[in-house]
Structure 1
Amino acid sequence: MGIVDGKVVATHKVMPARRPSKIILWADNEGTETIADGSDLITVIAAIADENGNIKRLNNYHIKFEIEGPGELVASKETFTNPREVQWGTAPILVRAKAQTGNIKIKASVVPYGTHTSMPAELIIPTTKAIHPLIADEDELNLQLRTHRNQQNLSSYDHGQSSDEARKQSQMRLKEVEKQQSDFE
């Protein structure tokens, strides 16, 4: 309790968290707008809480994130970031806004889901049009995204290929990069 001139000016009540019953989602963006420019990142935090909103700090849950709309998760199963392990009651994740405006909907749920697990949650983040013109146009951004996904797919296939096939794939990728560099110069 804080007292100034004999008057109570601040109080602080500490309550233990009860049984986890819900997930609380919020964007940790300091109140700034999310810009639809293909590179704006937002930290979204999911917390396991009881029915009164008290965060349950000690738990061993995993939270799976899903996204809809003009955004993408900067997370994957391969990097162990989706589902994300809860640490000290929260699980942060990064969301990248795409170049289109609209509402990004993030869904969070506990895995595995059961009768006594916390209820799933949704968060909607509106995006606003970029003030400055994009350096890359939509087609270039989409090409970059497809190239990135193809590279991920090729690397996952490389494990199942013979060493000759993998070497040929690497040489083809190297030639593609050389061509892009010569086009740049």
Structure 2
Amino acid sequence: MKGKQTIGHANWLIFDYNRGYANDLEASGISDIFRIPKFSFFFYRSQKSPGEGEFKEPMVFIASYWTPRSTTSVKVFSNTQEVALYLNGELIDQRTPEINEISYELPHPPFIFNLDRYVPGTLKAVGIIDGEEVATHVVRTPRAPAGIQLAVDYSQKIISPNSPDMFFVYAMIVDEEGTVVPTANQRIAFSLGDDAKNARIIGGKVVKAEAGIATILIRTERFSGSLNVRATAEGLGEQTIEIRNP
């Protein structure tokens, strides 16, 4: 950020990390220790204009889970000229960026929408450039936990077939519509299939979810073929994902 009272601004780390000299976690990253992006990740992404940097496309992101605990002042990050916000299909407002004493020199200041009250349902933000809708983001109020979804973090690379490698697997606690439930904190038990001859889970195999997501780290020696990972939790059933190189 820039302003009359600011001579510089930087965030030198992307991930949270264990300090080493203290027991608590250094939590100032824009992604957590498991590489799951925080809201701040999307703020930084929004500061690059379309066509600049690694992410070339226009983007818009609603920085809210839209739960009863959420503020009704909804902040949206975008690198577009205008953003329209809808709640349950009805237009709340179409706004330009919020320019104030701490944002006036940002390339793309956030957009702020002040709603009269909280109403559960679906928030939809639409990014607009030169009158054209170019990006959308949807957030749904989560319902009760109903199941598990699994995902793998390949980090845009293949799992090494020639040397040891490691990667994250995420178990997301979701409602019946597939929305992650950020308040869910159930314990999830992970296991590897019979094909896991050269793979193992690093650390505990039972992990308590944080913000609705439980994460494990898997180490492979020389990855080939496929690997099955299973996750189970009481009341949520089980889910299996087959891991192959993309």
- Structure 2 distance, partners of 1:6, 1:23, is 40
- 1:100 to partner: Cα distance: 5.9
Which residue of 1 is the match for residue 237 of structure 2?
119
Larger radius of gyration: 1
- 1:62 to partner: Cα distance: 0.5
1:97/1:127 contact within 8 Å kept: no
Structure number with greater CO (CA < 8 Å, separation at least 6) is 1
2:185/2:211 contact within 8 Å kept: no
Q: TM-score by structure 2 length?
A: 0.44
Q: How well do the aligned residues superpose, as a CA RMSD in angstroms?
A: 2.0
Instruction: State whether structure 2 residue 160 is matched by structure 1 residue 2.
Output: no
Secondary structure of the residue aligned to 2:185 is coil
- Structure 2 distance, partners of 1:61, 1:100, is 31
Match of 1:13 among 116, 122, 138: 138
Match of 2:202 among 60, 74, 94: 74
1:25/1:122 contact within 8 Å kept: yes
- Structure 2 distance, partners of 1:7, 1:99, is 48
Which residue of 2 is the match for residue 85 of structure 1?
208
- 1:14 to partner: Cα distance: 2.0
List per-residue Cα deviations over 1:29-58 (Å, max 9, x = no partner).
123211234521011111101122110010
List per-residue Cα deviations over 1:90-141 (Å, max 9, x = no partner).
111111113363311100011xx2xxx223111111269xxxxxxxxxxxxx
Whichever residue aligns with residue 101 of structure 1, its letter is S
Aligned residues: 118
Which residue of 1 is the match for residue 147 of structure 2?
22
2:160/2:223 contact within 8 Å kept: no
1:60/1:86 contact within 8 Å kept: yes
Match of 1:42 among 167, 170, 181: 167
Match of 1:95 among 195, 200, 218: 218
- 1:67 to partner: Cα distance: 0.4
Q: 1:127-138 maps to which residues of 2 (within 5 A)?
A: none
Q: TM-score by structure 1 length?
A: 0.58
Moved more, 3-12 or 63-72: 3-12
Q: 1:141-156 maps to which residues of 2 (within 5 A)?
A: none
- Structure 1 distance, partners of 2:245, 2:130, is 47
Which residue of 1 is the match for residue 122 of structure 2?
none
Match of 1:104 among 220, 224, 227: 227
Structure 1: runs of 5 or more not aligned = 76-80, 129-185
Whichever residue aligns with residue 185 of structure 2, its letter is N
Secondary structure of the residue aligned to 1:120 is strand
Which residue of 2 is the match for residue 170 of structure 1?
none
- Structure 1 distance, partners of 2:223, 2:157, is 18
1:34/1:125 contact within 8 Å kept: no
Whichever residue aligns with residue 19 of structure 1, its letter is A
- Structure 2 distance, partners of 1:41, 1:12, is 31
Q: Report which of the two has the higher share of strand.
A: 2
